[in-house]
Structure 1
Amino acid sequence: MTSEEPTRPISRFNASEDRGRNMRRTATAMLFLMSGIFVLAHSMEDAHPAWGFVQAFAEAAMVGGLADWFAVTALFRYPMGIPIPHTAIVPRKKDQIGEQLAWFLRDNFLTPAIVARRMQRFDVAGAIGKFLTNPNGDESRMRKGASNLVAMVLENLDDEKLGGTTKTMIANRLRDLDIAPLLGQSMVAAMKEDRHIPIVDGMVRWAANILDSNEDIVRAMVHERANNFMRWLAIDDRLSESIITGLRRLLVQMEGDPHHPLRDQANEGFVRLAFDLQHDAEMRQRVEHFKQDMIENEAVTEWLDGLWQQAREALLRAARDPDRAMEGRFGEALQELGRTLQEDPEIKRAINSFARRATVGAVADYGDSIVRLVSDTVKGWDAKTITDRVENAVSRDLQYIRMNGTLVGGLVGLTIHTIITII
C-alpha cells in the first residue's frame, strides 16, 4: 500500500465491507442451494413428473448464477486465479480508469464555461453575510471545526520558518513596489479634495511653536552678528524683537488667510512634488533609494517581526475562541458588514462577480494541473487496494446482480421446460 492510497473514515469503510461480505455470502449460498436442489431433483426425477420442473428451474438458476458470478468476478480479479483474457479488468485498467476519470472531471466540471454557469447560481456575498450576521446558526459547527483546524495548523507550523517566510515575502513585495508614482497619485487625489490643507495648517502651527520655543536663539544670533555700536545703542535688541514680531505676524496671517501668497507657494510646491514623483526619473530614483534603505533598516526588520507575531497571536486567539472574537466592536463591525453584504445589491453584485472571475480564472489556469493530479494519484494507488475499495463500494449491487441472475435464470429454465413439456 503506497503513501498515496486513498483514505476514508475507517468505520464507514468497514461497514461497507461488512455489508458487501454478507451480500456475497447470500448470493453464494443461493448458488449452492440451487446446486443442491438440482442434485435432489435429478435423483427424484422418476418419482414424479413435477421433479422435472424443479430440476429445470434449479439447473437454469445454477447456470445463471455461475455466469453472473464469472462476470462479477472478472471485473476485479481472475476467476479462480486463472488468467483468462479480458478478466481482472479493474486492476489491469487502473491507469486508464484514472485517466478517464480525470478527463471526465475536466470535461464535465473543470471547464471555465461550466464553472461560470454553475457559479451564476451561487450567492457568495449572501452566504458570507449570513454567516457574519448569524455566526451561531447552522454554520456554527462548521465554523468551530474550521477554527480548530486553523488553530492546529498555526500551532504546529514552525513559527521561525513561517515568520521568516512571511517577513521575507512582505519585504520582497515592498522592494518590488514602485512607491513613487503611488505617492504622487495619492497626493493628487488628496489635493483635489483639499485634504492637503490640514498638512499646511500643521506646518504653520509647527513653525509658530518652533519660533516661540527658540526666541532666545534668534536674539542670540542677532546679538552675535551686531557690531559694538549697535550693541551700545541696544539696536540689536530692537532688531531681534522686530524680526520675531514680524515672523509671528506672518505666521498668524498665513494661518488665518487660506489664500495667503506663501500658502499658495506651498500648494504649488505640493503640485510640483506630486508631478515629480510620477514623472521625474531622478525623484523616483531618490524615493526608491530611500525605500530600500528603510527596508534594510534594523528597526523596520524588528517592526515586521513584531507585526507577524501580533498577527499570529490574533489569529490564534480568534481560532481558539471564535465566539469571543465576534464580540465587542469588532464583532459588531463584522455583523454590520454581513448585513451590508446581504442588503446592498451593488456590493453583492461586485463580490459575486469577483468570486466568479476568480473561480473561473483558477479553473482556466489550473484545470489541467488538477486533471494530471487526479490521473497521477490514481496511477500511484496500489492495484489491490483500489480494487478492494471499488468492489466494496459497489459490492451490494453486484451481489444483487448475481442473486437476480440466479432467479431469472431459473425462471427462464422453468419456462422453457414448461413449453417443451406442453408441446
Structure 2
Amino acid sequence: MARTPMALLSAADQERARGLRLMKGIALGALIALAVVFVIAFSLQGRFPWLAYVRAAAEGGMVGALADWFAVTALFRRPLGLPIPHTAIIPTRKNEIGRTLGEFVETNFLSGDVIRARLSATPIAARLGEWLRTPEHAERVASEAATIIANVLEALSDEDVQDVITDLAREHLIVPEWGPPLGGWLERLVATGAHHQAVDLAADSIGTWLESNRDAFAGLLSRRLPSWVPSMVHNLIDEAAYHEAVKFTAAVRADPEHRARLAIDTYLERLADNLQHDPETIGRFEDAKTTVFDSPRVRELAADAWTTAKNGLVTALHDEDSGLRRRGAAALAEIGDRLVTDETVQRRVDGWVTDAAVFLVERYRHDIASVITDTVERWDAAETSEKIELMVGRDLQYIRLNGTIVGSLAGLLIFTVAHAIFGA
C-alpha cells in the first residue's frame, strides 16, 4: 500500500506519523534484541544451564512480539503481502465499519433523551448571556451579523426583489376584494361612533383656518358678479359668505346632532352598505384600486423606495460607527444582561434551545449519522487505513511491546514450571 508523502500530510498528521515510526522502531528493536538474546542463550545453554531460562524468556517474547505484530498489521494490511484470510480488515471492510460507526453514533449519541438530558443540565442561556453582555463580544456579533446581512442585500437582484414585491402585492392586495371587508370595517366604525372624533377634528381645523384666512374670501363670490354691480355690493357678498362659513362651522362644532353631522353619518352608512352589497360600487372601487396599483408611477415609487432603503441599510451596516451598528451592539449586550439576571427568560430560552435541538436530532438523526457513513464510503480503502493507523497506530505499537514483555514472562514461567515438574 502506497504511503502518502509526508509533505502532503497536515502538521498534526506529520507529528502522528513521526510518533508512529518511533514506536514501530522501538517494537522492532525489542524483537531483534530478543532474537539476539535467544541465539546467544541457545548456543551457550549447554555450558551455562541457567541460560536455558533466558532462552525460554527470549523465545516466549519473540512469539508474543510476532503474534501481536501479526494482529496489529492485519488490521491495516496483509502481513508480508500474503493473502491470509481475515487480514487487511480495515481496507476490506471499510464500508461496513463506516455503517457500523454511523449506527453507533445514531443510537448512542443522536438520541432525543440523551440530548435533552445533556442540555437540561447545561445553563445555556446564562452562559450565552454572560458571554454576550461583554461589550467586545456584543460588538463582534453585531459586526458579523451586519456583514452577513449586508452581503445578502448586495447579492440580491433589485429586479428579482421588485418582481417578488409585485407578485406579493398582486396576490395579497390586488386580487382579494377590498370593498366588502372595507365596508364591514366602515359599518362597525359608524356603529360605534368612532368617526365622530374625525368629524370634530375636521370642523376644528376648518374653524381655525377660517379665523386665520379671512382674506381668502375676498373676491371668492363677487368676482362672478356682473361688472356693473357696485364694489360695495361685492364686499358685502364676500363678507356675508365668510360670516356664513364661520357661523356654519361653529354650529357644527357646537351641536353633536347638527344636520351636517347627521348627513355625514347617513352617507357613511350608505357607503358601508354599498361597499358590501352593491356590485356596481364594489366594481368601481376595485377598478380604482387596480388602476392605482398598476400605475407605472406607483411601480417607480416602489422601486425607488426599495433601492433607497437597500442602499441606506447597506451603508449603515458597513459603517462601524453608524447608529444602526451601535444600537445593535447595545441591544445584544442588553439581551445578554437579561439572560444572566432574569431566571424566567433563562428557563424559557433553555427550553426553546432544548426543544429545538431534540426536534432536529429526532427528525434528522439518520441524515446526520449518514454523514459518517457516506464520508467513509467515499474514502479510498488505502487512505482510510492510513488515516486510522495514524490516529491509533502509535497506541497499537504498545500492544506489540506489551506482547513482547508478556510473552517473555509467560515463556519463562512455563519453562520454569515444566522444569520444576519434569526436571532437566
Task: Calculate the TM-score normalised by the size of structure 2.
Answer: 0.70
The equivalent of 2:387 in structure 1 is 389
Matches of 1:200 and 1:355 in 2, distance apart? 52
Indicate how the Cα distance of structure 1 residues 335 and 56 shifts in structure 2: closer, same or farther if over 3 A, else same.
same
Larger Rg belongs to: 2
Q: Which residue of 1 aligns with 2:245?
A: 244
**Aligned with residue 355 of structure 2, among 354, 357, 365:** 357
Distance 1:339 1:414 in 2: 70
Q: 1:377 aligns with which of 372, 375, 378?
A: 375
Residue 65 of structure 1: aligned partner: 65
Residue of structure 2 in register with 1:44 after alignment:
44
Counterpart of 1:109, as a letter, is: F
Asked if structure 2 preserves the Cα contact closer than 8 Å seen for 1:230 and 1:236, the reply is: no
Residue 31 of structure 2 corresponds to: 31
Instruction: Write the distance in 1 (CA, Å) between the matches of 2:253 and 2:77.
Output: 98
Q: Is the 8 A contact 1:326 1:334 kept in 2?
A: no
1:401 paired residue number: 399
Cα RMSD (Å) of the superposition? 4.9
| Superposed CA offset, 1:228-287 (max 9, x none) | 999984464245313531465368669x9xxx968x969x99xx79x98xxxx9999998
Return the alpha-carbon distance in structure 1 between the equivalents of residues 9 and 204 of structure 2. Answer: 71
Matches within 5 A, 1:125-204: 125-136=125-136, 161-162=155-156, 167=161, 171=165, 174=168, 178=172
Cα drift, residue 23 of structure 1: 0.9
**What is the one-letter code of the residue matched to 1:245?**
V
Asked whether 1:112 is paired with 2:112, we answer yes
* Match in the other structure for 1:91: 91
Q: CA deviation at 1:164?
A: 5.5
What's the CA shift string for 1:129-151, capped at 9, x where partnerless? 21232244xx79xx86x889879
Judged with a 3 Å threshold, the aligned counterparts in structure 2 of structure 1 residues 43 and 328 are, in CA distance, closer, same or farther, namely: same
Q: What is the DSSP-based 3-state SS (H/G/I as helix, E as strand, rest coil) of the residue aligned with 1:33?
A: helix
**SS of structure 2 residue aligned to 1:297:** helix
CA 1:326–1:76: 2 relative to 1, 3 Å: farther
> Could you say what secondary structure the match of 1:85 adopts?
coil
- Cα gap change, 1:304/1:123 in structure 2, threshold over 3 Å: closer, same or farther? farther
Within 2, Cα distance between the matches of 1:169 and 1:370?
37
Alignment of structure 1 residues 271-286 onto 2, 5 Å: none
Alignment check: 8 A CA contact 1:294 1:300 kept: no
Letter in structure 2 aligned against 1:359:
A
CA-CA distance at 1:401 after TM superposition = 0.5
Task: Sort the Cα spacing of 1:172 and 1:299 in 2 relative to 1 into closer, same or farther, 3 A.
Answer: closer
Distance 1:360 1:99 in 2: 23
Give the gaps of 5 or more residues in structure 2: 1-7, 277-281
Separation in structure 2 between the aligned mates of residue 308 and residue 215 of structure 1, nearest angstrom: 47
Q: How far apart are 1:399 and its partner, in Å?
A: 0.5
What is the letter of the counterpart of residue 304 of structure 1?
W
Is this contact kept in 2: 1:326–1:332, CA < 8 A?
no
1:367 counterpart SS class: helix
3-state SS of the aligned residue for 2:85? coil
For 1:146-198, what per-residue CA distance to the aligned partner results, in whole angstroms no more than 9, with x for missing partners? 8898799789x7985445699479748955985799x99xx99xx9xxx9999
1:340 — aligned with what?
A: 338
Quick check: 112-121 or 392-401, which moved more? Answer: 112-121
Q: What TM-score do you get using the length of structure 1 for normalisation?
A: 0.70
Equivalents in 2 of 1:75, 1:166: separation in Å? 57
| Alignment correspondent of 1:3 | none
The answer to whether structure 1 residue 297 and structure 2 residue 299 are counterparts is yes
User: Which residue of 2 is the match for residue 16 of structure 1?
Assistant: 16
The change in CA–CA distance for 1:373 and 1:329 in structure 2 (over 3 A counts) is closer
Aligned residues: 387
Q: Which amino acid aligns with 1:398?
A: L
Residue 4 of structure 1 aligns with which residue?
A: none
CA distances 1:194-248 after superposition (whole Å, capped 9, x unpaired): x999988876777668778987777766557779999984464245313531465
| One-letter amino acid of the structure 2 residue matched with residue 37 of structure 1 | V
Do the aligned partners of 2:69 and 2:400 also contact (CA within 8 Å) in 1?
yes
Classify the secondary structure of the residue corresponding to 2:46.
Answer: coil
State, as a whole percentage, how many aligned pairs show the same letter.
28
Q: How much does 1:420 deviate?
A: 1.3
Aligned-residue offset at 1:108: 2.2
Structure 2 Cα separation of the partners of residues 49 and 288 of structure 1: 115
